[in-house]
Amino acid sequence: MPDRDVLLQVEHLRKVYESATGDVEAIGDVSFTMDAGELLCVVGPSGCGKTTLLKCLAGLLRPTSGRVEMHGAPVTGPSPAMAVVFQEYGRSLYPWLTVRGNVELPLRHKRLSSAARGKLVADALDAVGLGHAARSHPWQLSGGMQQRVAIARAVAYQPEVLIMDEPFAAVDAQTRADLEDLVRELHTSRNMSIVFVTHDIDESIYLGERVLVLSRSPTWVQEDLTVDLPPGRDQINTRALPRFTQLRTHVYDQIQRAKRGQAVAP
Protein backbone atom coordinates (compact mmCIF):
# COMPACT_ATOMS: atom_id res chain seq x y z
CA MET A 1 0.00 0.00 0.00
CA PRO A 2 1.93 3.03 -1.22
CA ASP A 3 -0.41 5.55 0.43
CA ARG A 4 0.64 4.50 3.94
CA ASP A 5 4.00 5.04 5.64
CA VAL A 6 6.02 1.99 6.53
CA LEU A 7 6.65 2.26 10.27
CA LEU A 8 8.50 -0.91 11.18
CA GLN A 9 10.45 -3.15 8.90
CA VAL A 10 11.85 -6.47 10.11
CA GLU A 11 14.22 -8.29 7.79
CA HIS A 12 15.52 -11.82 8.30
CA LEU A 13 15.58 -11.45 12.05
CA ARG A 14 17.36 -14.30 13.81
CA LYS A 15 18.07 -14.73 17.50
CA VAL A 16 20.20 -17.45 19.04
CA TYR A 17 20.66 -17.67 22.80
CA GLU A 18 24.13 -18.90 23.58
CA SER A 19 24.60 -20.91 26.72
CA ALA A 20 27.09 -23.36 28.17
CA THR A 21 24.76 -26.31 27.58
CA GLY A 22 24.31 -25.47 23.91
CA ASP A 23 22.86 -22.77 21.68
CA VAL A 24 19.11 -22.32 21.44
CA GLU A 25 17.71 -20.87 18.25
CA ALA A 26 14.66 -18.94 19.42
CA ILE A 27 13.91 -17.07 16.20
CA GLY A 28 14.86 -18.60 12.86
CA ASP A 29 14.04 -16.09 10.16
CA VAL A 30 11.29 -13.51 10.65
CA SER A 31 10.48 -10.78 8.12
CA PHE A 32 7.48 -8.45 8.00
CA THR A 33 6.59 -4.80 7.65
CA MET A 34 4.12 -2.76 9.59
CA ASP A 35 2.45 0.46 8.45
CA ALA A 36 1.90 3.50 10.61
CA GLY A 37 -1.50 3.45 12.28
CA GLU A 38 -1.86 -0.31 12.05
CA LEU A 39 -2.89 -2.71 14.79
CA LEU A 40 -0.87 -5.84 14.24
CA CYS A 41 -1.43 -8.97 16.30
CA VAL A 42 1.21 -11.65 16.64
CA VAL A 43 0.07 -15.16 17.62
CA GLY A 44 1.90 -18.41 17.83
CA PRO A 45 2.09 -21.63 19.83
CA SER A 46 3.49 -21.25 23.33
CA GLY A 47 7.27 -21.16 23.49
CA CYS A 48 7.56 -19.92 19.91
CA GLY A 49 9.71 -16.93 20.79
CA LYS A 50 6.98 -14.27 20.83
CA THR A 51 8.55 -12.43 23.76
CA THR A 52 12.00 -12.67 22.17
CA LEU A 53 10.68 -11.16 18.95
CA LEU A 54 9.05 -8.36 20.90
CA LYS A 55 12.20 -7.60 22.85
CA CYS A 56 14.15 -7.41 19.61
CA LEU A 57 11.54 -4.98 18.21
CA ALA A 58 11.76 -2.84 21.35
CA GLY A 59 15.55 -2.74 21.26
CA LEU A 60 15.85 -4.61 24.56
CA LEU A 61 17.65 -7.51 22.87
CA ARG A 62 20.17 -7.39 20.05
CA PRO A 63 19.30 -9.83 17.25
CA THR A 64 21.95 -12.36 16.27
CA SER A 65 21.49 -11.38 12.65
CA GLY A 66 19.01 -9.51 10.49
CA ARG A 67 17.66 -6.05 11.20
CA VAL A 68 14.80 -4.09 12.68
CA GLU A 69 14.21 -0.70 11.10
CA MET A 70 11.94 2.09 12.15
CA HIS A 71 11.24 4.74 9.52
CA GLY A 72 14.24 3.29 7.69
CA ALA A 73 16.68 3.75 10.60
CA PRO A 74 18.00 0.63 12.37
CA VAL A 75 16.80 0.02 15.92
CA THR A 76 19.87 -0.59 18.09
CA GLY A 77 18.45 0.08 21.53
CA PRO A 78 15.36 1.33 23.37
CA SER A 79 13.91 4.31 21.57
CA PRO A 80 11.59 7.16 22.60
CA ALA A 81 9.41 6.17 19.67
CA MET A 82 8.45 2.89 21.34
CA ALA A 83 6.75 2.02 24.58
CA VAL A 84 6.36 -1.48 25.98
CA VAL A 85 3.51 -2.86 28.08
CA PHE A 86 4.75 -5.98 29.83
CA GLN A 87 2.74 -9.02 30.75
CA GLU A 88 3.72 -8.91 34.40
CA TYR A 89 2.12 -5.62 35.44
CA GLY A 90 2.85 -6.41 39.09
CA ARG A 91 6.58 -6.41 38.37
CA SER A 92 6.54 -3.61 35.84
CA LEU A 93 4.89 -0.94 38.02
CA TYR A 94 6.90 0.44 40.93
CA PRO A 95 4.98 -0.17 44.16
CA TRP A 96 6.70 2.68 46.03
CA LEU A 97 5.37 5.24 43.57
CA THR A 98 1.76 6.33 43.26
CA VAL A 99 -0.16 5.73 40.05
CA ARG A 100 0.68 9.27 38.97
CA GLY A 101 4.34 8.78 39.91
CA ASN A 102 4.51 5.64 37.80
CA VAL A 103 2.99 7.29 34.74
CA GLU A 104 5.17 10.35 35.20
CA LEU A 105 8.50 8.55 35.66
CA PRO A 106 9.35 8.01 31.95
CA LEU A 107 8.50 11.65 31.23
CA ARG A 108 11.02 13.05 33.69
CA HIS A 109 13.91 13.04 31.26
CA LYS A 110 11.82 14.56 28.48
CA ARG A 111 12.31 18.30 28.64
CA LEU A 112 8.77 19.32 29.47
CA SER A 113 7.35 21.99 31.72
CA SER A 114 5.71 20.54 34.79
CA ALA A 115 2.34 21.79 33.52
CA ALA A 116 2.77 19.98 30.20
CA ARG A 117 3.90 16.87 32.03
CA GLY A 118 0.95 17.01 34.39
CA LYS A 119 -1.40 17.40 31.44
CA LEU A 120 0.05 14.37 29.67
CA VAL A 121 -0.27 12.26 32.82
CA ALA A 122 -3.84 13.38 33.52
CA ASP A 123 -4.82 12.86 29.88
CA ALA A 124 -3.35 9.35 29.81
CA LEU A 125 -5.02 8.38 33.06
CA ASP A 126 -8.36 9.69 31.77
CA ALA A 127 -7.89 7.71 28.57
CA VAL A 128 -7.69 4.46 30.54
CA GLY A 129 -10.46 5.50 32.93
CA LEU A 130 -8.26 5.90 36.00
CA GLY A 131 -8.38 9.67 36.52
CA HIS A 132 -9.73 9.12 40.03
CA ALA A 133 -6.96 6.75 41.14
CA ALA A 134 -3.93 8.97 40.49
CA ARG A 135 -2.98 9.13 44.16
CA SER A 136 -3.38 5.44 44.93
CA HIS A 137 -0.54 2.99 44.91
CA PRO A 138 -0.58 0.21 42.30
CA TRP A 139 -0.96 -2.55 44.92
CA GLN A 140 -4.18 -0.96 46.11
CA LEU A 141 -5.75 -1.60 42.69
CA SER A 142 -7.07 -4.76 41.03
CA GLY A 143 -5.01 -6.57 38.40
CA GLY A 144 -6.96 -5.08 35.51
CA MET A 145 -6.59 -1.58 36.88
CA GLN A 146 -2.86 -2.12 37.35
CA GLN A 147 -2.52 -3.09 33.71
CA ARG A 148 -4.48 0.07 32.82
CA VAL A 149 -1.84 2.05 34.72
CA ALA A 150 0.88 0.38 32.68
CA ILE A 151 -1.02 1.25 29.49
CA ALA A 152 -1.44 4.86 30.66
CA ARG A 153 2.29 5.04 31.31
CA ALA A 154 2.97 3.91 27.75
CA VAL A 155 0.36 6.29 26.29
CA ALA A 156 1.72 9.31 28.20
CA TYR A 157 5.16 8.56 26.79
CA GLN A 158 3.71 9.43 23.35
CA PRO A 159 5.40 6.67 21.38
CA GLU A 160 4.91 6.09 17.68
CA VAL A 161 4.31 2.44 18.33
CA LEU A 162 2.95 0.67 21.38
CA ILE A 163 4.34 -2.82 21.94
CA MET A 164 2.23 -5.07 24.13
CA ASP A 165 3.48 -8.44 25.35
CA GLU A 166 0.54 -10.69 26.26
CA PRO A 167 -0.74 -7.85 28.41
CA PHE A 168 -4.00 -9.50 29.45
CA ALA A 169 -2.79 -13.04 30.09
CA ALA A 170 -3.05 -12.62 33.85
CA VAL A 171 -6.48 -10.99 34.23
CA ASP A 172 -9.93 -12.55 34.40
CA ALA A 173 -12.14 -12.91 31.30
CA GLN A 174 -14.47 -9.96 31.89
CA THR A 175 -11.67 -7.56 32.72
CA ARG A 176 -9.94 -8.85 29.66
CA ALA A 177 -12.85 -7.94 27.39
CA ASP A 178 -12.87 -4.41 28.85
CA LEU A 179 -9.14 -4.05 28.31
CA GLU A 180 -9.43 -5.32 24.72
CA ASP A 181 -12.00 -2.63 24.03
CA LEU A 182 -9.66 -0.09 25.62
CA VAL A 183 -6.90 -1.10 23.20
CA ARG A 184 -9.31 -0.82 20.23
CA GLU A 185 -10.40 2.57 21.54
CA LEU A 186 -6.81 3.85 21.82
CA HIS A 187 -6.13 2.57 18.33
CA THR A 188 -9.15 4.14 16.64
CA SER A 189 -9.48 7.41 18.57
CA ARG A 190 -5.77 8.21 18.84
CA ASN A 191 -4.68 6.46 15.67
CA MET A 192 -2.00 4.59 17.64
CA SER A 193 0.15 1.98 15.98
CA ILE A 194 0.13 -1.14 18.13
CA VAL A 195 1.97 -4.46 18.02
CA PHE A 196 -0.02 -6.84 20.18
CA VAL A 197 1.54 -10.17 21.08
CA THR A 198 -0.85 -12.81 22.38
CA HIS A 199 -1.36 -16.55 22.56
CA ASP A 200 -5.15 -16.11 22.40
CA ILE A 201 -6.49 -16.67 18.87
CA ASP A 202 -9.88 -15.01 19.47
CA GLU A 203 -8.20 -12.00 20.96
CA SER A 204 -5.85 -11.62 18.01
CA ILE A 205 -8.73 -11.61 15.50
CA TYR A 206 -11.00 -9.40 17.59
CA LEU A 207 -8.28 -6.78 18.02
CA GLY A 208 -6.15 -6.98 14.91
CA GLU A 209 -6.32 -5.64 11.42
CA ARG A 210 -3.59 -8.06 10.54
CA VAL A 211 -2.53 -11.23 12.27
CA LEU A 212 0.95 -12.70 12.00
CA VAL A 213 0.90 -16.42 12.74
CA LEU A 214 4.30 -17.61 13.91
CA SER A 215 5.61 -21.14 13.55
CA ARG A 216 7.04 -23.04 16.47
CA SER A 217 10.67 -22.38 17.41
CA PRO A 218 12.98 -21.67 15.50
CA THR A 219 10.39 -19.16 14.45
CA TRP A 220 9.36 -17.84 11.04
CA VAL A 221 6.20 -16.12 9.87
CA GLN A 222 3.87 -18.93 8.88
CA GLU A 223 1.06 -16.70 7.70
CA ASP A 224 0.38 -13.00 7.33
CA LEU A 225 -3.40 -12.69 7.49
CA THR A 226 -5.50 -9.58 6.85
CA VAL A 227 -8.52 -9.42 9.15
CA ASP A 228 -11.31 -8.13 6.93
CA LEU A 229 -13.75 -7.36 9.71
CA PRO A 230 -15.37 -3.91 9.96
CA PRO A 231 -13.29 -1.45 12.02
CA GLY A 232 -16.04 -0.70 14.54
CA ARG A 233 -15.93 -3.79 16.75
CA ASP A 234 -17.78 -4.82 19.84
CA GLN A 235 -17.57 -7.89 21.97
CA ILE A 236 -21.02 -9.32 21.15
CA ASN A 237 -21.64 -8.57 17.48
CA THR A 238 -18.13 -8.88 16.10
CA ARG A 239 -17.55 -12.22 17.76
CA ALA A 240 -20.90 -13.46 16.37
CA LEU A 241 -20.01 -12.66 12.75
CA PRO A 242 -19.62 -15.72 10.49
CA ARG A 243 -16.40 -14.19 9.13
CA PHE A 244 -15.00 -13.98 12.67
CA THR A 245 -15.62 -17.71 13.12
CA GLN A 246 -14.06 -18.49 9.76
CA LEU A 247 -10.93 -16.52 10.56
CA ARG A 248 -10.67 -18.07 13.98
CA THR A 249 -10.95 -21.58 12.58
CA HIS A 250 -8.35 -20.74 9.99
CA VAL A 251 -5.85 -19.36 12.52
CA TYR A 252 -6.57 -22.25 14.86
CA ASP A 253 -5.72 -24.74 12.11
CA GLN A 254 -2.54 -22.85 11.33
CA ILE A 255 -1.47 -22.94 14.96
CA GLN A 256 -2.21 -26.67 15.21
CA ARG A 257 -0.06 -27.24 12.14
CA ALA A 258 2.64 -25.05 13.66
CA LYS A 259 2.58 -27.10 16.87
CA ARG A 260 2.94 -30.35 14.98
CA GLY A 261 5.67 -28.83 12.86
CA GLN A 262 3.76 -29.68 9.66
CA ALA A 263 4.11 -26.28 8.08
CA VAL A 264 7.19 -26.01 5.88
CA ALA A 265 9.44 -22.99 5.94
CA PRO A 266 9.51 -21.04 2.66
Partner 1 sequence: MSTRTVAVTARTVPGTGRARRRRGVGRRVVGGFLYSLGLPFLLLVLWGVLSTSSTNRFFPGPVAIAESFIDTWVGAAFVEDVLPSLYRLALGILASIVLGVAAGTLIGLFGWLRELLEPLLEFFRAIPPPVLIPVVMLLLGITDTMKVVVIVSGALWPVLLNTIDGVRAIDSVMSETAESFQVTWWERLWFLVLPSASPRIMAGVRQSLSVALILMVISEMFASSAGLGYRIAYFQRNYLIAEMWSGILLLGLVGVLLAVTFGVVERRVLRWYHGIREVNRA
* Site residues for partner 1 per CB under 8 A: 58-60, 78-80, 82-84, 86, 88, 91-92, 94-97, 105-106, 108-109, 135-137, 139-140, 153, 157
Nearest-10 Cα torsion for 134, 136, 139, 141: -70
* Alpha carbon distance 115, 241 (integer Å): 46
* Alpha carbon distance 248, 242 (integer Å): 10
Q: Are 30 and 221 in contact (CB under 8 A)?
A: yes
Beta carbon of residue 14, minimum distance to partner 1 (angstroms, whole number): 22
Contacts of 117 (CB under 8 A, 6+ apart): 104, 107, 108, 110
- The enclosing H or E element of 56 equals helix 50-57
Q: Which CB atom, from 92 or from 147, has the smaller least distance to partner 1?
A: 92
CA angle 187, 81, 32 (to 5 degrees): 70
Beta carbon of residue 92, minimum distance to partner 1 (angstroms, whole number): 5
CA dihedral (241, 40, 46, 234) positive or negative? negative
* Alpha carbon distance 266, 263 (integer Å): 9
Q: In what order do the strands lie in the sheet with 73-74?
A: 73-74, 65-70, 6-17, 24-35, 219-226, 210-214, 39-43, 193-197, 161-165, 82-85
